[in-house]
Each structure stands twice: as C-alpha cells, then as structure tokens.
Structure 1
Amino acid sequence: MSGSQRVVVTRSVARVITVRLPGRVVTVRQAGPPRVTVVSFGLQGPPGALSDEVQLRLLRAEQSAEAALQVATVASNTVASLMADLQSSFTHYAGAIAAQEG
C-alpha cells in the first residue's frame, strides 16, 4: 500500500426492540453511531520486517534474559552447595552423637 491509501471498515449498529402484545407486535429500530476501524494506514514494509526500534528492544530483551539466566545459575549452584554442606554437617553431628551413645 502506498502512504496515501488506507482501508476503513465501517459497521452499522442498530438497536431493535420487539414488543409482543396480544394481537399486536411492535418493532422499534434505532440506528446507533457507526463503528469505524482503520485497518491499515501509511507505509508498510515487507511481511515479517521489524523496525529498528523493535529490533533494538528485542536485542535488549535477549541480553537481559541471558544475564538473568547467569544469575539464576549462580544462585542455583550456591543453594546446591549450601544444601550439601548442611547435609555433611548433619551427618557429622549425627555420627558424633551416635558415637557418644555407643
């Protein structure tokens, strides 16, 4: 599409009220304001093309995700090491208590 073209879709909306009485049916139609939707406007690139701003935001999001993954990996390793140390300490003290009882 060129920059001077646009596609506009207009839908008419109407309220219809039907009243049924014995021996008589009355229908009232009231037109509402039209609903307008602009489908496209301005210049468009080829399908799948992203603007420079969107590509930059995507690059920043990928970098943030990589940094978050690194931080999460370090945190996971730290917690695993802490759990191993706690298990080792528990085993040591449980053995010391068992030795004193025996």
Structure 2
Amino acid sequence: MGAPVFRTTVHGLAFEDRARHLHTVNPREELVLIPDPPGGQPDDVWVHIRTGDPVGHLPREIGAWLAPWMRRGGSARVQVIKVGPESVPSWKRLLVEVRCG
C-alpha cells in the first residue's frame, strides 16, 4: 500500500462533460471513491460526487495500488481540498485528500 494520507489531483474531468459537476463541489466536502472491478486495465479509482455522478479518477499510478487494496476490503475516504477555476487545466482543477484506513 502507498501512503495512508495523501493529496492528489483528479484526472479525466474533461471527458463526458464531467467538469459540469464542479460547480456543486466545495472545499472540505466528502466525495466517494469507487475502484474499477477486477480484471480491467488500467486499474482506476473513480471519484464520484454524493449523488453518484463521476467527476474523474485518481492518477493511474495511485489506482494501480489503491484499487486492488480497496477490493480486498481496504477503505479510503476522499475530501475536496480545492476546486480551481475553468482557466486552470482540467487535470489540475480538483485537488483532493485521500485517507486510507
């Protein structure tokens, strides 16, 4: 497993109009992490808003170890740290903190 607490950006916001959800997301808000089912490549961990809509995924380097760990029963919580304006590149717009426990 990687670090028990870390900060990272959320990737994939630019696809499928996922960035439209960012106007509803606020700092300190808890989001939901959902790992891909086993057997898929790449092994992503998706970030969803509380209503269930995906906003993107954690970087692939993190998903490679976090998704299998979560599928084995590990739990992780994610909280918004910062939401950048539309002028910020999509892969840098949403900063989150992940706590593995």
What's the TM-score, normalizing by structure 2? 0.18
Larger-Rg structure: 1
The structure carrying a bigger helix percent of its residues is: 1
> How does the TM-score come out when normalised to structure 1?
0.18
